[in-house]
């Protein structure tokens, strides 16, 4: 898969760990920045860049890192077709894909350490959407909400 990775300055320290995990799993990395932790970058700007990469099909999924993960998730979810969630446990990181077709994993660089981040990224990337009728039905309802 092609995995877009973006972060603001608060998520920068966790980004190399995540990039290594993604690469070690054999996925293509699309680095969307930031690449300088000393220059403040607003998380909505990074969410937009990452969301556009998914919308244009340049990336299959994305990983967005900000201070808590919350702001990134809120901003990313404003974009059509983006299903982002902050996940700080491996069950949610996998189940979000399996049941909800989550395509953006949001992490808090100030919340999770590198060992947990590694587990979360693996859970997110190994998971796939189940396609079960009940999950498709619910996903279609979510997509309908985007059109309101």
CA angle 109, 114, 117 (to 5 degrees): 75
Rounded to a whole number of angstroms, the distance between the first and last alpha carbons of the chain is: 31
Out of 7, 9, 87, 99, the active site residue is: 99
61 φ/ψ angles, rounded to the nearest 5 degrees: -145, 170
Active site residue 106: no
99 is catalytic: yes
Catalytic, out of 7, 9, 27, 66: 66
Helix axes 133-146, 90-100, angle to 10 degrees: 90
What residues act catalytically?
A: 66, 99
């Amino acid at each position: 898969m092609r995995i877009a990775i973006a972060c603001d300055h608060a998520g920068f320290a966790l980004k190399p760990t995540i990039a290594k995990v993604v690469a070690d799993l054999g996925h293509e990395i699309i680095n969307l920045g930031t690449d300088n932790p000393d220059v403040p970058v607003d998380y909505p700007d990074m969410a937009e860049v990452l969301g556009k990469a998914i919308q244009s099909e340049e990336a299959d999924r994305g990983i967005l890192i900000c201070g808590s993960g919350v702001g990134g998730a809120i901003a990313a979810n404003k974009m059509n077709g983006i299903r982002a969630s902050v996940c700080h446990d491996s069950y949610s990181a996998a189940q979000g894909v399996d049941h909800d077709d989550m395509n953006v994993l949001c992490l808090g660089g100030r919340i999770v350490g590198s060992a947990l981040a590694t587990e979360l990224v693996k859970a997110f990337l190994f998971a796939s959407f189940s396609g079960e009728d009940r999950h498709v039905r619910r996903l279609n309802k979510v997509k309908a909400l985007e059109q309101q």
